[in-house]
Structures are given as C-alpha cells and as structure tokens.
C-alpha cells in the first residue's frame, strides 16, 4: 500500500478511536506530507470539519497548492471537493467510493485528476461504521 494512503487510513482510525467518523486525509507536496487530518465533526461539534478540511487547516499556509496531491480514505463530498477546486489541487486519490460516491464528476469537470483506489480496507471500515452508527453517518452526509 502507498505510504500516503496508509497515513490517511491511520488518520481515519484515529478519528474512529476518538468517537468520530472514520475518514482520514493527507496532503502531499514534493513527496512530503504537509498536512494530515480526520473527520472531527463529532469531536469538535463542527459540521464543517470533514477530514479534508481538517487536513488543509493543519497544513496551514503553504503558498501554492500546485503540485499537491490530496489522499482521502473516502471520495470527497461537494464541500471538500469545493476546497480542492478552490485551492487548485489537481490530483485526488480516494480510498473508495462504494459507500459514498462523493463529488468525483465535479472535481473532474474542474480539471482534477481523481483516482479511486477501491481499497477493501477503506470500504470495510466505512461499512462497519455505517452499520454501527447510521444516524451519525446520515447526519455527516446531510441526509438525516
């Protein structure tokens, strides 16, 4: 497994262990991790703190996002895809999109290369979480 996606999975597991939703994200620039994050909506009581947003916040001001790659254990939603497009991130690798299809077409329409790795580890983690805490999941995706 790619070390950057493994770091995103580690972030997802960290979020789950803290009582949150198991989605993790990593931002890579010039072959180095510049930011990591996980979904903190539950922990922070903040509906905007999705994994990708947390990751970007933690990366801080890095100047240009050209040449960066965003890794996420789940296909980014429209909120996070909007941030990807806004900041000019041109490559996104998603661990999976089976449990949530996300906003792939939106990103691709705006020139982002999107790669769905279709990882069983990411799918299993999300399926188990959704089965155990469906109300939290549907709140997260705005379908409660």
Quickly count helices (H) and strands (E) in the chain. Answer: 7, 5
Q: Identify whether the C-beta of residue 129 lies closer than 8 Å to the C-beta of residue 22.
A: yes
52 a catalytic residue: yes
Helix (H/G/I), strand (E/B), else coil: 27: strand
Give the closest residue to 51 by CA, choosing from 33, 18, 69, 26: 26
CA–CA separation, 12 and 16 (whole Å)? 6
Q: Which of 52, 105, 108, 128 is catalytic?
A: 52
Active site residues: 52
């Amino acid at each position: 497994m790619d070390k950057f996606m493994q770091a995103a999975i580690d972030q997802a597991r960290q979020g789950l262990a803290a009582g949150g939703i198991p989605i993790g994200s990593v931002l890579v620039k010039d072959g180095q991790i510049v930011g990591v994050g996980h979904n903190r909506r539950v922990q922070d009581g903040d509906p905007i703190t999705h994994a990708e947003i947390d990751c970007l916040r933690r990366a801080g001001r890095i100047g240009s996002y050209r040449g960066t790659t965003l890794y996420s254990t789940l296909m980014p939603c429209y909120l996070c895809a909007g941030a990807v497009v806004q900041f000019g991130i041109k490559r996104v690798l998603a661990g999976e999109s089976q449990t949530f299809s996300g906003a792939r077409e939106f990103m691709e329409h705006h020139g982002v290369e999107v790669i769905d790795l279709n990882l069983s580890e990411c799918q299993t983690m999300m399926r188990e979480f959704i089965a155990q805490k469906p109300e939290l999941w549907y709140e997260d995706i705005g379908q409660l």
